[in-house]
Amino acid sequence: MDSDFTFLNERLAKLYNLESLNVKGATIKRVTLPPGSIRGGFLTQAAILKVTANGTTTSPVKRGAWVMERILGRKPPPPPAAVPAVEPDIRGATTIREQLDSHRAQPACAACHTKIDPAGFALESFDVFGGYRTQYRAIDGEKSEPGFGKNGLPFFYYYALPVETQSELDGRKFKDIIEFKRMLAQNDRALARNFLNQLVVYATGAPVGFADRERIERILDANAPTQYRLRNLIHSLVQSDIFLIK
């Protein structure tokens, strides 16, 4: 969930504003991060941040739902059919948080968005490519800045309203992605359990059955002393009846 290292090549180092690490070439290398870096762990990798955006804008709903389902194992229910989706205001007049605050005022939306949105807000400090930002971008404004699109061609954008990442999940408050990652890491057994659940599906091609749950808990018990190292969890799974019998 968090680490003091990441994997970079020259292009990623530029995207992450880590040119000071002097990473050269296209080969991906393991690199020790400077103290206090936001880039430790997989949640802040560009690959994760890009696939949880739509290519032009970010959405706390999409990113939050991804974290809840893939990381925490809490699959959100589908949205009500009669409620329209919330789209970011590309004019920059309102933030997505302000729009979602209004959205949550509807009783049909409040219960789910209270659980989904916080994780998405934590990741709002990253744009559609995974670059760090403190302000949203808009199609109009007073001051323009150069950027590069996915086709590599330059374009200009304008700064809009500031990004707000603070929120609350399960009664615990956080102010930014660093605090959010630390908070998630405190639930190490729950994270390991969800990892195993998804690994079972990948390894066996079948969903987790009722009989598998007890075996998964035994694997977790055996790996608790090593803080659920991924390598150990994988080894334990492939040696268990879950994998050998299915």
Name the amino acid, one letter, at 30.
R
> What is the model's pLDDT at position 84?
64
> What is the model's pLDDT at position 112?
83
Burial of 1 (0-12, 13-18, 19+ CB in 10 A): middle
- Sign of the dihedral defined by the CA atoms of residues 135, 138, 142, 146, in that order: positive
Put simply, whether the predicted model's pTM sits higher than 0.75 gets the answer: yes
How far apart, in whole angstroms, are the C-alpha atoms of residue 165 and residue 36? Answer: 17
> What is the model's pLDDT at position 121?
94
> What is the model's pLDDT at position 15?
92
> What is the model's pLDDT at position 87?
65
Angle in degrees, 0-180, between the axes of helices 177-185 and 188-204, rounded to the nearest 10: 80
- Contact yes or no for 118/172 (Cβ under 8 A): no
**HEC-encoded secondary structure of 235-246:** HHHHCCHHHHHC
Q: Please state, for a pLDDT cut of 70, what percent of the chain lies above it.
A: 88
> What is the model's pLDDT at position 107?
75
Identify which of 167, 172, 143, 158 has the alpha carbon closest to the alpha carbon of residue 90: 158
Identify which of 154, 126, 157, 155 has the alpha carbon closest to the alpha carbon of residue 139: 157
> What is the model's pLDDT at position 246?
74
pLDDT (tens digit per residue) in 182-235: 999 999 999 999 999 999 999 999 999 998 999 999 999 999 999 999 999 999
> What is the model's pLDDT at position 150?
58
Question: What parts of the chain have a pLDDT lower than 50?
Answer: none
> What is the model's pLDDT at position 19?
94
Structure tokens at 75: 């699959």
